[in-house]
Amino acid sequence: MALLLEQLLNGVQLGVMLFLLAAGLTLVFGIMGVINLAHGSLYMVGAFASAFVAAQTGSFLLALLAGLAAAALCGMAVEYVVLRRLYARDHLDQVLATFGLILFFNQGMVLLFGRQPLFVDIPPLLQGAVEIIPGVPYPAYRIAIIGVGLLVGLGLWFLLQKTRVGMLVRAGATHRDMVRALGVDVRLLYTLVFGLGALLAGLAGLMAGPIFSVQVGMGEQILIQTFVVIVIGGLGSVRGAVAGALLVGLVDTLLRAFLPATLRSVMQGADADALASGLASMGIYVLMALVLLVRPRGLFPAHA
């Protein structure tokens, strides 16, 4: 029971990470109509910048700021230099151009930091564990991640539904020319939205640092999982991103936690572990296939 609760929380925590990435990706797609493969690179940039500053200064706050700033600035630069030339192009061009960006960013990180993974300490304030229910300790850092996820989710909802900026963003998606005619600088708006998406990706990346190792290629692994989230949740829908991220986070975590033991009861230990890890990795893709069979446009399609 305690194990199940712990794994459920782990699942939610993975879901939060995926949500931070999926929200940015889906916003950028919903508003600008662009698919950005380099979104995972921004996650990586956030992780590296924060790990580097933490190692140099020992300050968690500085590391946090550095990670956020690096990702957001990188994102806005990418938008300004490359992506705004791609808004009018088809998805194929967008995919290929941003694929080129991935190669560039990955190799750039290798040039700067080498191929060795960086390891990041948990900030002192969040070390240790919290007893969520009596007798079940859970790492404080992971609780903090879940908390940040909740805050970001609420903040996004407030921003999109309740503020003038959010109104412009939503209007800019459907009536681009009208918004422009009203004298709003759409290009600036897009750059800012892109920066926001990058900021969220960077946030996820820097929070991932102490849990996973920080290394080149980390962005693509989570990017593909993020795609699964978006396909399941429905493209362009923040609500779908929330649902998809939690679903994928939970399914992936629970399969990894409980499949090996289940298989070991019917076959040899080593084989069972290998097969279980393979099947667990495949789990979310099977989930995606099942969702698609029932609802080809995902659980919460943006424009029903």
Partner 1 sequence: MRDRLLLGLALLLAIALPWLAEAAGSPATVSLATRMAIYAIAAASLNLVLGYGGLVSFGHAAYFGLGGYAVGILYAHWRSEELLLGLIPGSIGLLPTLGAAMLLGGASAAVLGALSLRTRGVQFIMITLAFAQMLFFLFVSLKAYGGDDGLSIRRRGEFPGLDLRAPAQLYWLCLGLLVGWLLLLWRVTRSRFGQVLAGARQSERRMAALGVSVYPYRLVAFVISGMGTALAGGLMANALRFVSPDMMHWAKSGELMIMVILGGLGTLLGPVLGAIALVGLENWLSAWTEHWQFILGPILLAVVLFGRGGLMALLRRVLPA
Contact positions toward partner 1, by CB under 8 A? 29, 35, 82, 85-86, 91-93, 95-97, 99-108, 110-111, 220, 224, 227-228, 230-231, 235, 270-271, 274-275, 277-279, 281-282, 285-286, 288-289, 292-293, 296-298
CA-nearest of 101, 94, 96, 93 to 75 is 101
| Least Cβ distance, residue 104 to partner 1 (angstroms) | 3
> Which residue lies nearer to partner 1 by CB, 48 or 138?
48
> Which residue lies nearer to partner 1 by CB, 95 or 171?
95
| Least Cβ distance, residue 218 to partner 1 (angstroms) | 14
> Which residue lies nearer to partner 1 by CB, 63 or 248?
248
> Which residue lies nearer to partner 1 by CB, 105 or 194?
105
Cα-Cα-Cα-Cα torsion 107, 113, 116, 117, nearest 10 degrees, comes to -100
> Which residue lies nearer to partner 1 by CB, 91 or 187?
91
In sequence order, the 6+-apart residues with CB closer than 8 A to the CB of 208 are 17, 43, 47, 214, 218, 222
| Least Cβ distance, residue 18 to partner 1 (angstroms) | 13
CB-CB contact of 226 with 292 (8 Å): no
| Least Cβ distance, residue 151 to partner 1 (angstroms) | 28
CA angle 79, 80, 81 (to 5 degrees): 95
Alpha carbons 244 and 247: distance in angstroms, whole number: 5
Alpha carbons 195 and 192: distance in angstroms, whole number: 5
> Which residue lies nearer to partner 1 by CB, 106 or 191?
106
| Least Cβ distance, residue 65 to partner 1 (angstroms) | 28
In sequence order, the 6+-apart residues with CB closer than 8 A to the CB of 265 are none
| Least Cβ distance, residue 6 to partner 1 (angstroms) | 24
